[in-house]
Chain A
Amino acid sequence: MTQQCGEIIRLCRAERSYFSGDARVKALDDVDLTITAGSTLAIMGASGSGKSTLLNVIGCLDRLTSGRYLLNGVDVSTLDDNDISTLRLNSFGFIFQSFHLIPQLNVLENIELPLYYAGVPGGAARERAKDLAATMGLEQRWFHRPSQLSGGQQQRVAIARALANDPDILLADEPTGNLDSATGWQILAVLYDLAAGGKTLIMVTHDQQIAAQMEHHLYMRDGAVLRAQVAQERQ
């Protein structure tokens, strides 16, 4: 596609404020950011520095209070809720720290969920879910509930679900935060593989070692970008 080397995400003077009573908290404060298609970005910073907020804004889960967010050149603020939902469905894959699987649904059903919302017929959705489960090494766990799985397995289900509609951009908010380091590295290996396969990967992490594998780095403090760093190897 044309965006392969072009910019896919652009934030201009992005601001997101929360109001709690009279106090106004700027979770994002004057953030400028450009992300090219197929690149990888690590967002780092102390707790409460606005990393998750930034990721949510990028993933269209949250809206800016001021500033502009262009996704593929389209100003997201002009879209209605239905269009935004469609973007989340087709363009973004979310991976959360606490997995966020639906407890009543089994592995396949969880993976099928985005497919159903996209209107994929039942049989085709089931096939695709099985394929995805297989690539994530979950062949034996089709009908397990999330509560019957280990943390690593749950995160694999979440990744499979994120990949269901083959999105261009993967957003991971501390994906290994709830996992032991060995399992964490396995999950990261999966994510790096996907990035190598051409997906844009944006990941929030505390870990320098993890971030070292990513091309671009963004350090945040109090909602503002402290330092942006571009990795050497691809320059």
Chain B
Amino acid sequence: MNTKNLDSGLSRFMQLIFVRDVVLGINNLLLHGMRSFLTILGLVFGVASVIAMLAVGNGAGQEALEQIRKLGSDVVILNSSKPLVAEKQSQRKRFFSVYGLTYLDAQRIHETIPALKVVVPVKLRSEQVYDRPTSVGVRVVGTTGNWFNVVRSTLVSGRTLTPFDEYDRRAVAVITENLTRKLFPLQSVLGNFVRLKGSCYKVVGVVRISGDAESKVESVDSAKDVYIPLSVMRERYGDIVLQRGTGSSVREKVELSQLLIKMNSESVVAASGAALHSLISRFHHKDDVSIRIPLQLLHQAQKTQRRFNIVLGSIAAISLLVGGIGIMNIMLASVTERTREIGIRRAIGARRWQIVTQFLIETVVLSCCGGLLGLLLGLALPWLITHFTGLTTLVTTYSLVLSLVISVSVGVIFGLYPAIRASRLDPITALRYE
């Protein structure tokens, strides 16, 4: 019985709200068209700025995430890096300085780290291809076929490296599409030869490193790559590099430049990262290996993004506050203007909450109009920003919903005081009001 009462009460309430008061609210707003418009202007800009700011923020975040995602979020990258400390002394004593990742490291990692999918050893060397009157600078990558699974790449033609290339030490090469355009603009690529440091490599495949085609900035490293089997590279180049400095030359022994380690899933990346760290630090005391975990960078980027959003959000909140206060001001004026009407309604038998509802709905109608105009402006602004500055912007449905929720809340919050004030008027005094 109680619920039934409540139910009918609720349906009455809904009926009171939706048909009449909304129409009445709109009528009252149209009655003072210019005033209403000026009133909601604050909210319009508030909502528009919320949407635009979120769009810019999201766009920036999206760009960063995209860049990190290209590396792969389930990958850990180990790089050999020249140690800065104690370098001078050891250089004198030894014939050459030894640092970086070793073949043994690859072996150890493969054997000790659980939840690991593949380990891709990589040897890198910068080289010139003297095939034509002008030479082309390329990056020679000695690696295994797995490289193409870990780094996002698409096979354009031919094949990638196979284990047989590795075991048989075949002089074959896979090159990037970009390099193909430079080296073989007219000839067919597959079966042709690339000459590196006196050796010839038969081109067996062409790959496109994903992201290259779209990215505006041409990345030299990834765009002009020659991939050859690691065993071949080791055989022909050895592990010792001659670094020519100013006046002197330094010999360095670096077995592997890089290890790409792909994990089974994203969830084990953090734990494996820690395990790798302790493993590496046990065998490398010179701090000659750096660990990069894209997933952690991603988390970092997300954290930065969140901070950015909070700052933008506060600015937007202030502008919404200003808009809300403008609306409250006008509603207070409206209550004063319509004192007599309120008196009449109360004399007829309106309850206090019915007066509250009426004014609240009027304010919400007002603020929703502001919200909708703001939404349109908020959609236009990011478009203009992208058009004129080239910044990536991203309008999410979440921000649109948010802006509407905000407008309704602003209406309710800032309409409550004027509405309650209206309902508290003494009927007789209100009736006599001129």
Residues of chain A whose beta carbon lies under 8 Å from any beta carbon of chain B: 56, 59, 61-62, 81-82, 85-90, 92, 94, 96, 100-105, 113-114, 116-119, 121-122, 161, 165
Residue of B16, B24, B349 near A90 (CB, 8 A) is B349
By the criterion CB–CB under 8 Å, are A61 and B349 in contact? no
Within 8 Å CB of A94, what residues of B? 347-348
By the criterion CB–CB under 8 Å, are A100 and B347 in contact? yes
Residue of B12, B24, B343, B352 near A81 (CB, 8 A) is B352
By the criterion CB–CB under 8 Å, are B349 and A88 in contact? yes
- Output the least CB separation between B262 and chain A (Å): 66
By the criterion CB–CB under 8 Å, are A102 and B16 in contact? no
- Output the least CB separation between B108 and chain A (Å): 80
24 of the cross-chain contacts (CB-CB < 8 Å) are A59-B347, A61-B428, A82-B352, A85-B350, A89-B350, A90-B349, A92-B349, A96-B431, A100-B340, A100-B343, A102-B341, A102-B344, A104-B24, A104-B341, A113-B348, A114-B349, A117-B345, A117-B348, A118-B349, A119-B12, A119-B16, A121-B15, A122-B20, A161-B348
Within 8 Å CB of B347, what residues of A? 59, 61, 88, 94, 100
A56-B428, A62-B428, A104-B27 known; A85+B19 contact, CB < 8 A: no
In the docked arrangement, what's the CA distance between A203 and B106, Å? Answer: 105
Residue of B31, B354, B431 near A117 (CB, 8 A) is B354
Asked if B378 is an interface residue, CB under 8 A from chain A, the answer is no
Asked if B351 is an interface residue, CB under 8 A from chain A, the answer is yes
- Output the least CB separation between A25 and chain B (Å): 14
| Total A-B contacts with CB atoms under 8 angstroms apart | 69
By the criterion CB–CB under 8 Å, are B351 and A86 in contact? yes
B: number of interface residues (CB 8 Å): 25
- Output the least CB separation between A58 and chain B (Å): 13
For residues 15 through 55 of chain B, which have their beta carbon under 8 Å from a beta carbon of chain A?
A: 15-16, 19-20, 24, 27-28, 31
Residue of A56, A85, A100, A121 near B351 (CB, 8 A) is A85
A62-B428, A119-B12 known; A82+B348 contact, CB < 8 A: no
By the criterion CB–CB under 8 Å, are B15 and A100 in contact? no
By the criterion CB–CB under 8 Å, are B350 and A117 in contact? yes
By the criterion CB–CB under 8 Å, are A122 and B344 in contact? no
In the docked arrangement, what's the CA distance between A102 and B348, Å? Answer: 11
- Output the least CB separation between B27 and chain A (Å): 6
- Output the least CB separation between B7 and chain A (Å): 13
In the docked arrangement, what's the CA distance between A89 and B345, Å? Answer: 10
Within 8 Å CB of A90, what residues of B? 349
By the criterion CB–CB under 8 Å, are B15 and A122 in contact? yes
Asked if B346 is an interface residue, CB under 8 A from chain A, the answer is yes
By the criterion CB–CB under 8 Å, are B351 and A114 in contact? no
Within 8 Å CB of B15, what residues of A? 119, 121-122
In the docked arrangement, what's the CA distance between A165 and B350, Å? Answer: 13
Within 8 Å CB of A81, what residues of B? 351-352
Within 8 Å CB of A59, what residues of B? 347
For residues 141 through 158 of chain B, which have their beta carbon under 8 Å from a beta carbon of chain A?
A: none
Asked if B61 is an interface residue, CB under 8 A from chain A, the answer is no
Within 8 Å CB of B19, what residues of A? 122
Which residue of A has the minimal Cβ distance to B19? A122
Which residue of B has the minimal Cβ distance to A81? B352
A61-B428, A104-B28, A104-B31 known; A116+B349 contact, CB < 8 A: no
- Output the least CB separation between A230 and chain B (Å): 30
- Output the least CB separation between B337 and chain A (Å): 12
Which residue of B has the minimal Cβ distance to A162? B348
- Output the least CB separation between A88 and chain B (Å): 4
What 3 A-B pairs are tightest by C-beta distance, nearest first?
A89-B349, A119-B12, A88-B349
Within 8 Å CB of A92, what residues of B? 349
Within 8 Å CB of A87, what residues of B? 349
By the criterion CB–CB under 8 Å, are B24 and A88 in contact? no
By the criterion CB–CB under 8 Å, are B348 and A88 in contact? yes
Within 8 Å CB of B351, what residues of A? 81-82, 85-86, 117
Asked if B371 is an interface residue, CB under 8 A from chain A, the answer is no
A61-B427, A100-B344 known; A85+B16 contact, CB < 8 A: no
Which residue of A has the minimal Cβ distance to B348? A114
